[in-house]
Structure formats: structure tokens, C-alpha cells
Amino acid sequence: MEYQTLNTGAKMPKIGYGVFQIPPKETTQCVLDALDVGFRHIDTAQAYFNEAEVGEAIATSGIPREELFLTTKVWISNAGEEKAYASIQKSLEKLKTGYVDLLLIHQPFGDYYGTYRAMTKAQREGLVKSFGVSNFFPDRFVDLVECTGIAPAVNQIECHVFNQQTKARDLYTRYGTAVVAWAPFAEGKRNMFRNPTLAKIGRQYGKSNAQVALRFLLQAGVSVLPKSVHKARMVENFDVFDFTLSIEDMQTIAAMDGDESLFISHTDPDMVKFLIDYTKNKE
């Protein structure tokens, strides 16, 4: 396993298993499969509504807790110091663990300054080893860091071959914040798994499009969170540490960057409202 050292000194496995959009009923088995394949970093969130099932898998896996790296995220509806702190305790209960390795503010909306203070307190109390943000774009990121004096350990952002976020990543890295890619396959958009450029590159190394896409990000210094409900694909996605893309292949893939989100605009008022309302009637 390769690790990225965070600004807290914690070591985060560079590949993690993401459970977004996995129905609760399937989550425990999926996480057990991922652990069996070798994943030791699991990424969930309050807003995925499957923390309890992740906790169940961790509890039954028999893997010592200290060998696992567990991430969850505070949703907008729990923003603010008191609410966020209470939600952290609730997440820990669901996850059946005394601490999470990484806690993120899921979205840059609501009273996330209060949430950040709650995370600082939770870290002091040992409930959280490292904390950071997700979906914080350069303006909000700089605002948060400069006004609190605390650089997030991680910024988890959309990042894949079609939206590489090169300039933004440089900024986060300058502040000592590690970048973790969500949707490292762009959820298969733009026919990524059949993209001819990735396929041609992959043939030289005997690797699939999925493996080339992950390897590109890893070599660019980005940790990755591939999601699959299929064990054979988990095996494929985990098998990305035995080859190195050449400089030319890295440059070819760098040229595929469209420099815009395939999912979401955080500056679109309708989208902001959608996110704020996302968990209403679900909690």
C-alpha cells in the first residue's frame, strides 16, 4: 500500500473505496468485499445514509481498527458548531468506532466556520485524527484557511481525466492540503471506460482504461476513491501500483482535460439550493 502523509502526520492510503450511491442494503457486503480485496481506506458521508452499514462491515471484518483509514463528512444540514459536534458523535455511533481518521466538511455551504470549530474540538478530544474539506473551490478554500489559520488536511474534489483541476490543485498543495479525487472515473461519463486514447495507452502496460485513469491521478499526486459494487472491478481498481505511465503518456492524458465539471456547478444558485435541500425528508 502507498500512503500520502497528511499535514497532521497521519498516513492516508492513496487509494480508498467510496460508497456513494451504494444502497444501505448492499453496503456492508460491498465494504467487506473491498476489505477482502485489500482496500484499507473507506470513504462515506452522513449524506450517503450508509454509515451504519459501513460500521457493520468494519466491526465484522476482524481487521484491527488501527489498520483502517475511515473518512466521513458532515452534511450542510448539520453545519454550525453545536449541530456539527452532535452529528460527529452520531456518525461515530453509526460507524461503531471511537474515532474517524478523516472528517470533512462535505460542501462549502451553511455555517461551515462553526463546523470547522466543532472539528477542531473533536480533534482535540481524539474523536477525529485529521479534518478537512470537500468541494471547497479556490476562493472559499483561501477564505477558510486565511481566516482560521488552519489548513485542511484534505480537500476532496471532483477530479478525473476530463476535469483535472490542475491550477486549483497547485493552490491546495501550496497550503499543504492533500488532494483526494472524487469520481476518479467521472462515473463513466463520456464513455470513459471505452475511451480510445486511454485504451491505447493501457494496451502498452496490459491495463484497462479504469486502471490508466487511476494511475494518471496517482502519478499526479492525487489520491483516489474508486467506487464499484462488483468485486472483480474492485480487484481491477486496486491493481494500479505495479506500473508507471511514461512522461509522454502522462502528457497525452493531461491534454484530455476539459477543465470543467461534468457534474455540478457550485456557483449555480439552483444547484446550491438543491444541495441545501438534499437531505430534507431523508433524515
Ligand X SMILES: NC(=O)c1ccc[n+]([C@@H]2O[C@H](COP(=O)([O-])OP(=O)(O)OC[C@H]3O[C@@H](n4cnc5c(N)ncnc54)[C@H](OP(=O)(O)O)[C@@H]3O)[C@@H](O)[C@H]2O)c1
Per the listing, cell 456539527 goes with 84
Query: What CA–CA distance (Å, rounded) separates 197 from 194?
Result: 9
Total residues contacting ligand X (rule CB under 6 A)? Answer: 27
Q: Which of 97, 142, 100, 107 is nearest to 8 (CA)?
A: 100
Query: What CA–CA distance (Å, rounded) separates 43 from 16?
Result: 7
* Stretch near ligand X under the rule CB under 6 A, chosen from 56-64, 162-170, 178-186, 269-277: 178-186
Burial class of residue 96 in the structure, from the number of CB atoms within 10 Å of its CB (0-12 exposed, 13-18 middle, 19+ buried)? middle
Q: Which of 236, 238, 249, 253 is the binder for ligand X (CB under 6 A)?
A: 236
Q: Which of 229, 235, 262, 276 is the binder for ligand X (CB under 6 A)?
A: 229
- Among candidate residues 17, 48, 85, 116, the one labeled active-site is 48
Confirm or reject binding of residue 42 to ligand X (CB under 6 A).
Answer: no
Q: Which of 252, 251, 250, 278 is nearest to 264 (CA)?
A: 278
Confirm or reject binding of residue 185 to ligand X (CB under 6 A).
Answer: yes
Enclosing H/E stretch for 139: helix 138-148
Confirm or reject binding of residue 186 to ligand X (CB under 6 A).
Answer: yes
Query: What CA–CA distance (Å, rounded) separates 132 from 156?
Result: 8
Q: Show contacts with ligand X in window 241-270 (CB under 6 A).
A: none
CA atoms within 13 A on the CB side of 239: 12
Note if 175 is an active site residue.
no
| Shortest distance (Å) from residue 22 CB to ligand X | 7
Query: What CA–CA distance (Å, rounded) separates 4 from 258?
Result: 27
In the shown chain, the binding pattern of residues 198 to 217 toward ligand X, with x for contact by CB under 6 A and - for none, equals: ------------x-------
> In this complex, which beta carbon is closest to ligand X, that of residue 171 or of residue 235?
235
Confirm or reject binding of residue 109 to ligand X (CB under 6 A).
Answer: no
* Stretch near ligand X under the rule CB under 6 A, chosen from 13-21, 124-132, 146-154, 199-207: 13-21
> In this complex, which beta carbon is closest to ligand X, that of residue 57 or of residue 225?
225
Confirm or reject binding of residue 132 to ligand X (CB under 6 A).
Answer: no
Query: What CA–CA distance (Å, rounded) separates 173 from 192?
Result: 27
- Catalytic machinery residues: 48
Enumerate binding residues for ligand X (CB under 6 A): 18-21, 43, 106, 134-135, 156, 182-188, 193, 210, 225-230, 233, 236-237
